[in-house]
Structure 1
Amino acid sequence: DYFKKEAITWAWEFVTKVMGMPEDRLYVSIYEEDDEAFEIWNREVGLALERIFRMGKEDNFWEHGIGPCGPCSEIYFDRGPERGCGKPDCTVGCDCDRYIEFWNLVFTQFNRQEDGTYTKLEKKNIDTGMGLERLAVIMQDVDSIFEVDTIRRILDHVCKKAGVVYGRGDEDVSIRVITDHIRGTVMMVSDGILPSNEGRGYVLRRLLRRAARHGRLLGIKGPFLYDVAKVAIRESCEAYPELAEKEEYICKVIKTEEERFAATIDQGIAILNAMIAELKMENKDVLPGNMAFKLHDTYGFPLDLTREIAGEAGLTVDEEGFMAEMAEQKNKARMALKNREMSAWGRDLAAGIDKDLKTEFVGYESYSSESRILHIILDDEQVNSAQQGEEVTIILDRTPFYAESGGQVADTGYITGKDGKVRVNGCVKVGEGLYLHTGVVEEGIIEKDAHVTASIDVERRLAIARNHTVTHLLHKALRNVLGDHVTQAGSLVAPDRLRFDFRHFEAMTKEEIKRVEDEVNARILDDLKVTVREMSVDEANRLGAMALFEEKYGDLVRVVQAGDYSMELCGGTHLKSTAQAGLFKIVSEGGVAAGVRRIEALTGKGALEYYDQVEEKLESIAAALRTSPQESLKRVETLNSELKAALKEIEQLKAKLASSSFDEVLGGAVEVSGMKIATGRFDQLDMDSLRNTCENLRSRIGSGVVVLASSLGDKASFVAMATKDAVERGIHCGNIVKEAAKAAGGGGGGRPDMAQAGGKDTSKIDEALRLAVEAAKAQVK
């Protein structure tokens, strides 16, 4: 009910009266052909002719391909000649910083046609946008958004962490990147987004990791962004109070991602350095695009960091090859998504069946229906009949069979006619509501147009309903225990189990799992009534119903509510009350992707069977321990104590056996220039025992080095220790064991006075000890 005149006059009123900007520092631009806007600015507002600038389509006409478009008018503020370029023709539209555009009024009044012509829109509208931070720059009279008070305090904190001063050098870019990215990061995490490799989560991860990398460039060691986030929260929490409420959670998410990236980037640098070394050996000076892409895709290694490190080593990066690999990956992802969205049956049936044909679903109210067979498909062909033993797909006019969707598996059951019977093993929905029942003809013959009874496996349906209703209870309990950031990332609802994937940044503790399990079981015992209602999306949102962000909903949605506890949009089948679920048991919790956890759980009979199995195992364990289940723990503790005592006695006996061999080892030492080199083999000793034995021998050798080896299982262990004077004469134990281990197919190293190593080939131990002696001889000065 308003257009160009009102939009212009209201904008002028706001900037001059509300914001108090001096009129003599304001200018406007309009589209060169928009005489109407000119008249309003000049006659209605009273702006002088020299303050109105007509500009071409590139600057003052908003359009994006075909469709609604129109001219626009922009408002500029003159920040003074001291911020200008100094040229005599400097004015509105100049690239310098003097005239800053901060408000754009778009008058959407035309519709661009495919042939490039324009027609007038029947209903015109206003699209207006003002830069809040630009406005702050003007009102506070600073040079950039990074000097606006709230942002400057974040920037100053970054400088303090890095020990640098802003505005004095090359560090400024990194300082600004961190300051900018942490603000966006805080808002995204507050809104429930978690770092991941897809969608919004990937954007967040890139922001965090880019900021973390720039922290490294500034010399900041260890996680620091979570600390900067506290300042960003403090500066914004007055306008966004939820930031203060979620501060601990926001900082925890950021710190966790920082720690992950630290491990990733260290690993990536090691791999990149290995790649560079290999290329240099081959006299190559270009890092292939596929190598750069592997670092990016597998380790989250930024291309610009790869470019920088490669450049320091005198190499360039094949960025075209990198982009080609990136494009191929995106294409594969698009094709995979396309294949998931299209069912094979849907493609086969599209040509032969009316696209408007739908199956009436009656499965919410009934377990069976009287139906008519509309189509029979056998071997991808439509047929009039099928007989016993043949695998078929049947389309009915109505069905009680729930088609697999929303994580819930399909119903199974039977389609029975007077001449035949089909066992239905699955059901999928294609198009706008065509249900395809897949199965096998078990008896007789079925024919097209025949009247049949479609009936589902009721017991199986109820088992599925238990798991589905409890999935909703689980979702709510997770949000109560872990926080409102928890959202569903996927699910499987089957008759024998439920699987629930959810967004959360760390593994659940045993205490958290127990709290969730207890809360769900408490709601089951509360016997909450489960109600299902259909309503508009807007009404569901007003009531606070949970919805999946990625899901597409129609105008009318189905809302499933369990008492006053949980409310979700859902098209699945459910219980009448929570008590019908009987029992809930979490059997596992683990990670499936970055920022995504998975719970596997059981309900009803499945949970009871689980406890039966646990009880059976306890009884078997008790029988093996020759005690009762109640006394099993005490018996295990006793046996464990006895085992520890026996192992300790064994180690003592080993030490005595080794001690008896000391004289033999020392007596067989080789003497070089007054220094002894002793070697010995003590099989079946672990590394700790081997070190202790070597220490004892070193204390007795006087002046020299001791090298010992042990074969335990299929591994060889080596330890070398030298006296202080031996080290002064050139002995280096790290280099000695490295040579020895190399002979046994292993590696290792350490300090000059003590080192250890391992090997894979125990048959080479004697040869390894011989090489150790030679290495030691060569070191003696």
Structure 2
Amino acid sequence: MGDTGPCGPCTEIHFDRIGNRDAASLVNNDDPTCIEIWNLVFIQFNREADGTLRPLPAKHVDTGLGFERLTSILQNKMSNYDTDIFMPIFDAIHQLAGDGIQPYSGKLGSDDIGKVDMAYRVVADHIRTLSFAIADGSQPGNEGREYVLRRILRRAVHFGHQKLKAKQSFFSSLVNVFVQLMGDVFPELKDNEKKIKCIIRDEEESFENTLAKGYEKFKKAADAVKDNGGTILSGQDAFILWDTYGYPIDLTEVMAIDYGLTVDKKGFNASMEEARQKARNARNKSGGNSIAMDANATAQLRKLGLASTDDSPKFLWPKEHESVVKAIYTGSEYITTATGDGDFGLVLESTSFYAEQGGQIFDTGSIEGSFGTFNVNNVQVFAGYVLHIGSFTKGSKVLSLGDSVICKVDYNRRTLIAPNHTCTHMLNFALREVLGDHVDQKGSIVLPEKLRFDFSHGKPVQPEDLRKIEFIVNQQIKDELGVYALEIKLEDAKRINGLRAVFGEIYPDPVRVVSVGRKVEDLLADPDSKEWLSISTELCGGTHITNTRDAKAFALLSEEGIAKGVRRITAVTAGCATQAMELASSIDSDINKASQLEGALLEKKIASIKSGLDAAAIPAARKADLRGKVSKLEDELRKAKKKMGEQNIQKAVKSAMDAAEAALSGNKPFCVTHVDVGLDTTAVREAVIKVMDQKGLPIMLFSTDEASNKAVIYAGVPPNAPSGFKVLDWLTPSIAPLKGRGGGGKNGVAQGQGSDASQLKEAMALANSIASMKLC
């Protein structure tokens, strides 16, 4: 229990694996031979903030039995990991391990040389945790509980590579083994097997891209600490591993222990807070840009004879680029040297960083040299000068004008941006193909996680057209078309038939042309050819993939109006697109399964599906299809409910009329009976009114629902009944055994509800008794 909240005394059940001895002293003493297997907490108080205990209005027992521990006892194993819950997973891990790795042997502590068995346990535990979590609807992410999943996934991948010498993508391949092992007991694993594997695979591949570089960075930092006789890895180094390479702090701590080091956790937290504060400051500034150059600032550079920044190396990636510092800007003045806290802007002679323009987000990374490291968190261009905005890492020395530096772009991030930019071009082409030549680009944003495209069109794009647009882009990806770029004279570029450009955009001369599927040289050789109308050709200075297959997949997630005559599409590529498509298939499967349900179960399932569908990031056309399928289910449900209602009325009226006839035949002046129509209040009420109108007989009808253990009750007393016999006086006490409550009525009819239908016989007997005393 926590410091505050519901609590109570508890009892624990411990099991002595050895037996035939007094093991009392071993209880809760970390002895593996005497383990707790069951815990029961008798929740009866709420512990307030001041420590006082307030009795709870409702009390219950909170109990939990350890499944793995119970299994180890039943199978007579000394460890959970020796049971058939884990051994098949260990066997699969061994098949994926590198040469020389022995099978799992259960070693612990100092006996576990190289922590190989520990790695087996980590990987097996984590594939179980992640599979269950994803099957339940969660997935790895950047914040909160989702970041916990990302941390444990990366921990498992690290242990697999470093301790077990496993190959790339080994971790996601364990999903099949685990689902086969547990899927019969937990069917949600089988239902979501593809989704689980896809999400884990994408996360695994993403981390593997930086895993080796991160580990080399760690070893370099750790070796430096040991060479200097230290025992503590700095918080700044741990932060760089987290920020640049995606290493969770707990994983860094594990690696540090292997090196005989500890981590400066306090320093790491300080670096984290510093980064958060910088992010907050950046958000508080326009566009996240903390330093900008106005006309006076760029004019000063011109007067000094400083040429515009050569940014052509940005297309030569993934390469590091050597350059020279030409200007250092504080946001208000130029200085000759810089170091310490705060943001600065660096102008270099040349750069491989992409400055934000043409809708594409800026690059991030670092500029390094003998001075230390300058982290680049924004790149903008002003009058031809590329300004690298950022700050120095702690410990950096003085940076001076004329210093030689190395540009280190975060190419992993750019690898996410590039396919989004290329697919923006292909989307632009597809829109023209499907909607017509009137479509013009009105703006775009290309980010690592998505692309957004604004275009001219006077009405919403219908789902069928969205499907065609999405298909055209995916077909180009499937066709593995080359993506070509060439800088040519603006005049020559404008002559190319079908060339697309953004209206109002000012292009340089010469200009860069990007084409998909044909070399720019081919276009220049015959610029008037109608063939060029069937490919994407645009003026563009952005960074792109070299072949459409690198985009992997494209999913058009939404289409909306943002202004009169302007529409906006949001889309994703690569793993995000695949995930969106698989999620759509999963929802489709849920809808198909729901079609086999009936009544209340179907109604509940439809509500759940609709809620998830509205929030789901899936292809827009597919979402429209799925909404149509849900709508059909709702129509079928309405028809079924209407038909069932009519049948229930007929059934209830017949049962009530038969019972009334029997009562009259026996000279009984009232009727109490049960009708089997569940909680259909309309049917029960109609039956009561029929008997009152046609038989003139006081009547009380009960109907129950076994699944919910509830009951509905209607009573009717016709005008010809004795004046002292009131309907509520009859109904209210009669339904007390059902834990019922009565409601008001009119025209001699009243209704009630009961929450304990198991007491039906007692309630009906009481109703008969009360009526007999009043009427007989």
TM range (shorter): 0.3 to 0.5
> By percentage of residues, which structure has more strand?
1
Q: Given the two structures, how large is their TM-score scaled by the length of structure 1?
A: 0.37
